[in-house]
Amino acid sequence: GDSVTQMEGPVTLSEEAFLTINCTYTATGYPSLFWYVQYPGEGLQLLLKATKADDKGSNKGFEATYRKETTSFHLEKGSVQVSDSAVYFCASLNTGGFKTIFGAGTRLFVKA
């Protein structure tokens, strides 16, 4: 079945460091891909998305490119801030599908 694998955390970075969180997926067909962010004690917020191969999703300085050849959707940010500390979930949704498949989540700590 469909699955999403993302790098284990926690990831600890200093402010202004470069961030990469790896995500790969397996799916039948051509899923849409998402990154969600969850701040402590809060719900899921959509961070960015990409709906087809080579699409780049971007928001708040975060970017991820849908790579069909490597079945990947890695999350990057050039300069992280303390306020970026949260748990990040990679997710996939097949067209016509009824459920979003989530990765295990990666906790990010950013130190001042």
Partner 1 sequence: AAGVIQSPRHLIKEKRETATLKCYPIPRHDTVYWYQQGPGQDPQFLISFYEKMQSDKGSIPDRFSAQQFSDYHSELNMSSLELGDSALYFCASSLGVTVINNEQFFGPGTRLTVL
Residue ranges that bind partner 1, judged by CB under 8 A: 32, 34, 36, 42-46, 49, 51, 89, 93, 95-105
Please say which residue, 17 or 100, places its beta carbon nearer to partner 1. 100
Q: Minimum Å distance from CB 48 to partner 1?
A: 12
- Buried/exposed code over 26-60 (b: 16+ C-beta within 10 A; e: otherwise): ebeeebbbbbbbbeeeeeeeebbbbeeeeeebeee
For residue 74, give both structure tokens. 């890695």
Q: Minimum Å distance from CB 62 to partner 1?
A: 17
Please say which residue, 63 or 97, places its beta carbon nearer to partner 1. 97
Please say which residue, 25 or 34, places its beta carbon nearer to partner 1. 34
Q: Minimum Å distance from CB 39 to partner 1?
A: 12
8 and 14 in contact (C-beta within 8 Å)? Answer: no
